[in-house]
Every structure is written in structure tokens, then in C-alpha cells.
Chain A
């Protein structure tokens, strides 16, 4: 499984590189238009590659599970953010090189007198600036997540759409019918992707609604909502995966949020999500009524024991509500009567806020499970672990008789905790493929 995932991961990487630089090869194919100065060709090359990267951004965020599975959704979103800076630098280099080496082209910035090809380019670059600016300074600009998502979509479509129009109107590298067709295919593919993500997928989700059948309060200011498919078979997921949930709005709206399944994947009747009341949206979870309609887009993510069948033992490291995907995995392992050794290191503020505390105790009876609570503010008389998860604690809890390579470790919790544990495991010489985390700090 690991090898297949690695091959798939490398394969997608190679394809990404090929698609990014493909327009450069099209530039060279005979019959090429007349020769021009080096800096002008360089400017155009940067523009083409930058646009390619921008168009591919839509593929990265289109929620294709088959694409994301080798890396994890969070890493694909991280790459989406990182490569956007590279794409921006390449695209902005296109006009800058023109302005530097041919100062008369600055007049093309005057949208009142400029030809349409330049107007399209100006709108594209402005949209790109908006796209990057709104994403980097979303919190500074006090943009709420929904508004940001709407503007992100508008700016992205404008940036790529106008750039494609710009290429068509300039027409320099569209000097043969087949090159025109190639760019047309490129545009059709991009528009098709847009139609799929913005129209077809939401329509499909809308036809598969879920009904809330239970809302349960949990320890630690968390709530579990249980959903039942309404008029369809529901979905199958791997324990540890997540889905995008849409409550009180249509799947066409941007008001959806990613949450991990907390129920066992072996339960095919209902699905559950346990959500901590942390933000504006999550604080309203407790007000959801039984019978309300919910839309679910999923499952997503590669954070699952099912991707590591070879493992001889599992270690789960959770902080606070980061227990939810672990709970799904533990419940599934219990339902499957799995006998492998399991260790759960569970960090919380205090004893009373430990979500699923009682159920974890009962799971010890059906699983070969060692639960280690780590409390920041332990109660009087506590003789368990205190403070934060550190190297000494982890080393002391590694299952005996199990090779590092045979142990798979899952980490989920607050970002600082995940960063710290990632660092500790790295320093303990664990192979990066043996410890897994997924983060939802998308923007």
C-alpha cells in the first residue's frame, strides 16, 4: 500500500510538472512564429507557465480524492497556497519584463485607450492581485470565511478567464489551427472543471441529503450530530476521514465546513460528527434540531488506519477535539475485533473536559488499548501524566517488541501540538511515512 501510494504520489508530481511546462513546448513546435528578442520571449514564457499553474490550481482544489490520497488533503491545500506565490511571481514578471525592456508598452495600462487584449490582461492581473491579497490578509481585512470563499472564486475565474482571452486576442502563438485547437481544449477543460465543481457536484450532493437523527452533548463543549441518509444508500468511508458539511444552506453556497467522522466506518446506517463549539459556526451546532436537512460532501482524506494494513501496532496522539478521527478509528477497530496493540495519548486541559472519556474506558475492554491521559491542569491527587506531550513521554509509551517501521502513528489536535509532535517524531528517527496528521487551517 505504501509503495503504491508513493508511486502514485510521484506520478501525479511528474504529471503536474509536465502540464505546467507544456505550453513552452507548444511555443517551439513548428511552424513557430517569427523570432523575437530574448526578453520578450522570456516574458511570454513566464506568462504561459504562470497561467498553466493558475489553471491547475482549480484541479488541486476540486476535491478529487484520487488525487489527494497519496499526500493528504491538507498538504494539497498547502501546496495550492505555496505554488500560488510562484505562479503570481511568474505572471507578474510577464508585464514587468515588457515594461522594462520596451517602456512604450506601459501605455497598455491605460484601459481607456488600450486594445482589448491589453484590457483583458490588466483585469487578469488585478484579479490575481485581489486573489493573493484577500488570501494573505483575510484576517487583517476582517473578511469572514464565506465572503472570502466567494471572492476567491470570482477572482480566480476572472484571472484565468481573462488570461485565456488575452492569449486568444494576442494570437501570436496561435498561428496554426491545431495550436488554436490545443488552447481551446485547454480552455474547455478548465471551463468543464468549473462546471463540475460549481454546478454538477453541488447538484449531485443536493440529490443525496441527510437528516439529523440525534444531537448529543459531549464532554469538552462538544456536540455529536448523527445523520441518516434520506432516500439513498449513504456513503462509505474509512475511519479517520472527513467530509464537508453544509447545514441550513444549499450545496451551492460556500457555507460548508470540514469535519472528521467520529462514528465507526462499520456502521452503515448512520454517520456521526463530533464538533467542538469553537467558532461562529461551530457554536451553533447545539441548536441543530432533529429532522433538519444536512448535505455531506465526502469522504476525503488519507488519515486512516485502512491505508496501513501492514501495521502491527497503532499509536494515536490526540489533543482536545482532535480525538474525533481517532474515535472513528478506535470504534471501527473495536467493531472489527482487531487485536493489535493500540496506544492513545490524549492531551486535554482538565479531567472534566475529556471528550469520550467514559467510552474510551469501555473500549479498553474490547480492544488491546492503552489510554494515557495528559492533563494541563490535573485535578488534586492526579498521578497520571501532566503538562504537554514531550519526547520522554513518547519514548516511554512506544509499544515494546514492535519495530518502528511496523508502528503507524496518527496525530490530530491543535496546530502547535501537531507541530511539536511532528518535530519530536522526526528527531526520534521515525520515517515521515510512518506518522500522519491532517490539518484544517485552510486559510
Chain B
């Protein structure tokens, strides 16, 4: 179970990182003000 939680946390961190990277890139490039 702890191992499943580790995988879930990995996926969560990966997903959050990609989403934030997309948001920040959109802001930095002026797509989103």
C-alpha cells in the first residue's frame, strides 16, 4: 500500500509540475495576462 501511495505521489508531482509549467509558460509568453 505504501508503495502504491509512492506511485500516486509521483504521478501527482509529475502532473502538478506539467500543469504549472504550462501555466507559467502561458503567462511568460503573454498568452495569458
Please give the residue numbers on chain A whose beta carbons come within 8 Å of chain B beta carbons, in ascending order.
Answer: 13, 16-17, 20-21, 24, 27-28, 32, 35-42, 44-46, 49, 53, 71-72, 75, 78-79, 82-83, 86, 89-90, 422, 426, 432, 437
9 other A-B residue contacts (CB within 8 Å) besides A45-B24, A49-B20, A89-B14:
A20-B17, A28-B24, A38-B29, A41-B26, A45-B22, A49-B21, A86-B17, A90-B14, A90-B18
A75-B3, A82-B6, A432-B1 known; A24-B21 Cβ under 8 A = yes
Residues of B within 8 A of A28 (CB): 24, 27-28
Which among B2, B5, B9, B22 has the greatest number of chain A C-beta atoms within 10 A? B2
- The answer on a CB contact under 8 Å between A83 and B13 is yes
Residues of A within 8 A of B10 (CB): 79, 82-83, 86
Q: What are 25 A-B pairs at a CB distance below 8 A? A: A20-B13, A24-B24, A27-B24, A35-B28, A35-B30, A37-B29, A40-B29, A41-B29, A42-B25, A45-B25, A72-B2, A75-B3, A75-B5, A75-B6, A78-B3, A82-B10, A83-B14, A86-B10, A89-B14, A90-B14, A90-B17, A90-B18, A90-B21, A432-B2, A432-B5
CA distance A38 to B23 in the complex (A): 10
Chain B residue nearest to A85 in the complex (CB):
B10
A35-B28, A72-B2 known; A42-B13 Cβ under 8 A = no
Residues of A within 8 A of B5 (CB): 75, 432
CA distance A187 to B31 in the complex (A): 32
Cβ-Cβ contact count across A and B, 8 Å cutoff: 85
- The answer on a CB contact under 8 Å between B14 and A86 is yes
For residue A94, give the distance in angstroms from its CB to the closest CB of chain B: 10
User: For the side of the interface on B, what is the size category?
Assistant: 20 to 34
- The answer on a CB contact under 8 Å between B6 and A42 is no
Residues of B within 8 A of A86 (CB): 10, 13-14, 17
For residue B18, give the distance in angstroms from its CB to the closest CB of chain A: 8
- The answer on a CB contact under 8 Å between B20 and A71 is no
For residue A411, give the distance in angstroms from its CB to the closest CB of chain B: 11
- The answer on a CB contact under 8 Å between A21 and B6 is no
- The answer on a CB contact under 8 Å between B21 and A45 is yes
Chain A residue nearest to B4 in the complex (CB):
A432
Q: Which of B1, B9, B17, B20 contacts A79 (CB 8 A)?
A: B9
The DSSP consensus for interface residues of chain A is helix
CA distance A44 to B26 in the complex (A): 12
Please give the residue numbers on chain B whose beta carbons come within 8 Å of chain A beta carbons, in ascending order.
Answer: 1-3, 5-7, 9-10, 13-14, 16-18, 20-22, 24-31
- The answer on a CB contact under 8 Å between B1 and A426 is yes
Residues of B within 8 A of A13 (CB): 9
Residues of B within 8 A of A35 (CB): 28-30
Residues of A within 8 A of B31 (CB): 38
Q: Which of A27, A75, A79, A89 contacts B28 (CB 8 A)?
A: A27
Residues of B within 8 A of A75 (CB): 2-3, 5-6
CA distance A46 to B14 in the complex (A): 11
CA distance A72 to B14 in the complex (A): 22
Residues of B within 8 A of A72 (CB): 2
For residue B12, give the distance in angstroms from its CB to the closest CB of chain A: 8
Residues of B within 8 A of A32 (CB): 28
For residue A412, give the distance in angstroms from its CB to the closest CB of chain B: 14
CA distance A37 to B26 in the complex (A): 9
Chain A residue nearest to B29 in the complex (CB):
A38
Residues of A within 8 A of B21 (CB): 24, 42, 45-46, 49, 90
- The answer on a CB contact under 8 Å between A38 and B16 is no
Chain B residue nearest to A430 in the complex (CB):
B1
For residue B7, give the distance in angstroms from its CB to the closest CB of chain A: 6
Chain B residue nearest to A50 in the complex (CB):
B17
For residue A92, give the distance in angstroms from its CB to the closest CB of chain B: 14
Residues of A within 8 A of B18 (CB): 46, 90
Residues of A within 8 A of B1 (CB): 422, 426, 432
CA distance A79 to B11 in the complex (A): 10
CA distance A37 to B3 in the complex (A): 40
Residues of B within 8 A of A78 (CB): 3, 6
